[in-house]
Homo-oligomer: A and B are copies of this chain.
Amino acid sequence: MRKEQSSNFINEQFLFQVCELNSAVSVISGRWKSQIVYSISQGNNRFHLLLQELTNISETVLARQLKELETHAILVKQEIPDSVPVGVEYILTNKGKDLVPILESLCDWGKTYAEGKEISI
Contacts and interface: CB of A to CB of B under 8 A. Distances in A.
Contact of A21 (B23, B29, B110): B110
Given A31-B11, A56-B11, A105-B105, A76 B21 contact: no
A21 B103 contact: yes
Contacts of A107: 19-21, 24
Copies per complex? Answer: 2
B113 A14 contact: no
Given A94-B120, A98-B109, A98-B113, 17 more contacts: A7-B56, A8-B31, A12-B31, A15-B32, A18-B35, A20-B107, A20-B110, A21-B104, A21-B107, A21-B110, A24-B107, A27-B110, A29-B29, A76-B121, A98-B112, A102-B102, A102-B105
